[in-house]
Structure 1
Amino acid sequence: MKPDKGTTLEHHLRRLTVGQRISIILALLLLPMAVLSVVSMSVLDGQEIDFQHSVQESIDTLLPLTTLEHYLERAQVDELEAQTNTSAPNFTVLTQNIDRSFSTIETTGSTPDMPEGLITAAQRAWRDARPAVQRLVEHIRPLHLGNDRLSDTLSRKDLQQAIHDVSRARRHLATIIKARYTHAVALRHSQLRWLVWSWVVTLSVATLFIGLFLSSILRPIKALESAARRLGAGETGVRIAVLGNDELTSVSRHFNAMSEYWEATRQALLTETSMDPLTGVLNRRGILAVLEQELAAHRRHGQPLSLFMMDLDRFKTINDTLGHSAGDRALLWVAEKMRESLRGSDHLGRYGGDEFIAVLPATTQEQAQAIAQRMRQSIHDTANRDDALPTISIGIASTPEMGWDMQTLIGGADAALYASKHRPDKTSSSD
């Protein structure tokens, strides 16, 4: 069987062996998962590192300003807690750390989620706060918190101004850090969505290809199973499309060869069981089976059908006087003459001994009478010149006149035959 267009892809796939296709299926399933797993781990590790960096940046950036603001507020409220005798804070280091944080922010630059105006506002706030802090640095060297000169040197107004400017710088800087954090979170979400879609698309494509490869394996197996079931049910002409060059193709070829051999053997057995070995026409079982099938078909379509019941005249005399060989030659000759008179669509069978049946599909009673007359006349013309050849008598029964029951139809033809054999005028057939 030739493959149709729908099996072209399967034909190409079946050029590979089943083992090769299973290996490809495993590769399509495992390799994308392995690659995506490595990429996912790399992206997640990168996100964790970025998160740690973001947290550390927040600490390094905001802590100096927050610490400076805290110490200035303590100086204002508690006059640097003269009673604790603790060491004065190192304002110089804090200022340097803050300057370094702003340098880092300038290097990083702005992003869509963190406009340049935020950076500018924070820098301006720090520039406003820095002179007041610088004055603190100049007046407070390694000064102890309990030293009374701090109150003399700094006025409450200077402290308030320094606290205000530092607080404003801290708020702007916190806004920058928050914007960076928001941008980082959005980036992480985008990366995660990209990973999810990568998994979905990759697995979908892999599943599609796996389905195609599995189909190229399962389809021929299902075809084999269906063909074997049909063959087991007695259906003939069962064949499987031979595609590709794999193991299943070889099995399909062997199945087709087996099916052909089975059909030939079956036909030989049917022929042997349904054909008469002497005359070559159908035997009793074969002709009755054909009659039953034709009656069922003609009943469904409402078509007429006629039946001949034929008996050889003087056959017993030929057999008794000339021997059985002469009787066999007479049977062979009369069967051949009957076939010559019948049409290609008609069926002829040996009913038993010297009796024959002919089934004439789609034939009315009038048409059957004309055919029977020609047959009888043809046989009589030759047999009347040779005593070793028999003549025949014919009884006719037709549907729908005689009904559709097989036994009734045979009985009607047999009765007509009996009447024909006992008529004085033997040159006409009877119905």
Structure 2
Amino acid sequence: MKMSAGLTLEHLLRRLSVGQRIAIMLALLLLPMAALSVVSLDVLEHQELDFRQSVQESINALLPLATLEHYLERAQVDELEAETDTSAPNFTALTHNIDRSFSTIETTDDGPDLPAGLITQAQRAWRDARPAVQRLVERIRPLRIGDPRLSDALSRKDIQQAIHDVSLARLHLAAVIKARYTHAIALRHRELRWLIWSWVVTLSVATVLIGLFLASILRPIKALETAARRLGAGESGVRVDMRGRDELTEVAERFNEMSENWETTRQALITETAMDPLTGVLNRRGILAALAAALNAHRMRDQGLSVFMMDLDRFKHINDTQGHSAGDRALVWVAGKMRECLRDSDHLGRYGGDEFLAILPGTGASQAQAIAQRMQRAIHDGASTDPSLPLVSIGIATAPDDGWDADTLIGAADAVLYTCKQRGREPEPPS
């Protein structure tokens, strides 16, 4: 069924020219690759942009908390005291930045890449840490570094509590960012796998279709090559069965015409080589080939076979006194009479000059004798009233009595013919 469907599609493709099929093959290969290349570049650029945004968001979210934790740790070890008149760190701005970070998380907490449990824990940690930070901010705001009241305002217990709460909020927020990053990586991997499979499927389909297009081109070429090789080897009846409207179908049709013309010419050459052009019977080569084939066939079946060696009487006189045209007419007439007396399965050939050889397959000595006598009477009756027509003498040889070899049989028949001509025209039975 698959083979039939493939051949049907191949026949449909042959309705297109070779140039059109090549153009379609290129389109099947290049257009999907171009489209996938554009999509791949777009996906990769989108992933790169998302990665940069993710890094920036991570920095924006974690940096305020880390900075706030750092300043609180400095305050814990009294590093806020300085010799200069530098203002205290802007805890209020840091607090507002952290609030914005968590507010951003709250506005996107329904997104598929945000784990809700981690977000809730991070928000709860910041809500727990914010009051302690806010109390520190309110106590630090009216003071300046170098003010002796700063140490009294910042109790170590409050700072430690604020540091603990801020650190806990930072850890939870880092866990949220890590989870978002892990989810984003998994999403990117899925997109990449989708791209890879898209490439694989597209190229596979394109490969199958291109294979069918190539088969529709290469299979006819292979068929033509095989047919040409068979024809070159001398095989007859070679034809290329091809249907379509393309150039290769046209070539196949011309090839079939050429093969048919060649067979006609070859048959004409074979006929011309094996046939005597004057009498229309086999020539010497043709009758000897027929004798060899008949001997092989009858030897295997162990059947008898007889041959007639025939020579025309008074032919030389006709040729000398009436001319070669009369001699040619005499040969044509006597060949026709011989053919009338022989059977359809018998073979008749002009052995040379005015000598004829007949092959009678499956014929014994007595039957061959009867046929020879009938032939002589028919020729005698026709020639008795017309001196321009010849008579005939016949020598008979029969296999296997006289042998299975062609030369032996012809020699035996020729010997009988010689004896027959010496005694008269009555054919001598084979010895």
Q: TM-score, normalised by structure 1?
A: 0.86
User: How many residues in Structure 1 have an aligned counterpart in Structure 2?
Assistant: 419
Q: Does 1:73 align with 2:70?
A: no
Aligned to 2:171: 171
Residue 47 (structure 1) aligns with: 47
Q: Amino acid of the residue matched to residue 412 of structure 1?
A: L
DSSP 3-state at the match of 2:71: helix
CA distance in 2, matches of 1:239, 1:278: 35
Q: Aligned equivalents of 1:252 and 1:383: distance in 2?
A: 54
Amino acid aligned to 1:379: M
2:307 match: 308
CA distance in 1, matches of 2:401, 2:419: 26
> 2:188: which partner in 1?
188
In structure 1, what is the equivalent of residue 252 of structure 2?
252
Give the CA deviation at 1:74: 1.1
Contact 1:397 1:410 in 2 (8 A): no
Deviation at 1:138, TM superposition (A): 1.0
Deviates more, 1:65-74 or 1:76-85: 76-85
State the 1:90 CA deviation.
1.3
Q: What is the aligned partner in structure 2 of residue 380 from structure 1? A: 376
Report what 2:416 is aligned to: 419
The one-letter amino acid paired with 1:19 is: G
Deviations 1:96-127 (A, max 9, x none): 21121122222222566653111111111111
- For structure 2, the residue ranges without an aligned partner over 5 or more in a row are none
Q: Is the 8 A contact 2:396 2:427 kept in 1?
A: no
Residue 373 of structure 1: how far off its partner (Å) = 3.2
CA distance in 2, matches of 1:84, 1:370: 153
Distance 2:216 2:159 in 1: 84
1:56 is displaced (CA, Å) by 0.5
1:39 maps to amino acid: V
Output the TM-score relative to the length of structure 2. 0.86
Shift of 1:159: 1.0
Relative distance call for 1:55 and 1:347 in structure 2 (3 A) is farther
Secondary structure in structure 1 of the residue aligned to 2:77: helix
1:409 and 2:370 aligned: no
- Per the alignment, do residues 155 and 281 of structure 1 end up closer, same or farther by CA in structure 2, a change over 3 Å counting? same
Which letter maps to 2:375? I
Letter paired with 1:40: S
Once the two structures are TM-superposed, the CA of residue 79 in structure 1 deviates from its matched residue by 4.3
Kindly provide the CA deviation profile for residues 71-104 of structure 1, in whole angstroms up to 9, marking residues without a partner as x.
1111112342434654321111111211211222
Q: Measure the CA separation in 2 of the matches of 1:172 and 1:392.
A: 130
Deviation at 1:270, TM superposition (A): 2.4
Greater mean alpha carbon deviation, residues 43-52 or residues 99-108? 99-108
Q: Deviations over 1:174-216 (max 9, x none)?
A: 1110111111111111111111111111111112222222222
Q: State the shift of 1:325 in Å.
A: 5.1
Distance 1:34 1:347 in 2: 76
- TM superposition shift of 1:34: 1.0
Which is further off, 214-223 or 65-74? 214-223
Write the letter of the residue equivalent to 1:222. Answer: K
In the alignment, what sits opposite 1:202? 202
Describe the SS at the equivalent of 1:78. Answer: coil
Alpha-carbon shift at residue 142 of structure 1 (Å): 6.1
Q: State the identity as a percent.
A: 63
Closer/same/farther in 2, CA of residues 177 and 355 from structure 1, 3 Å limit: same
Instruction: Measure, in 2, the Cα distance between the counterparts of 1:119 and 1:145.
Output: 37
Which residue is equivalent to 2:107?
107
* Equivalent residues of 2:284, 2:352 under 8 A apart: yes
Alpha-carbon separation, structure 2, partners of 1:342 and 1:61:
119
Q: How much does 1:250 deviate? A: 2.4
Which residue identity does 2:406 align to in structure 1?
L
CA RMSD in angstroms comes to: 3.1
SS in 2 for 1:422: helix
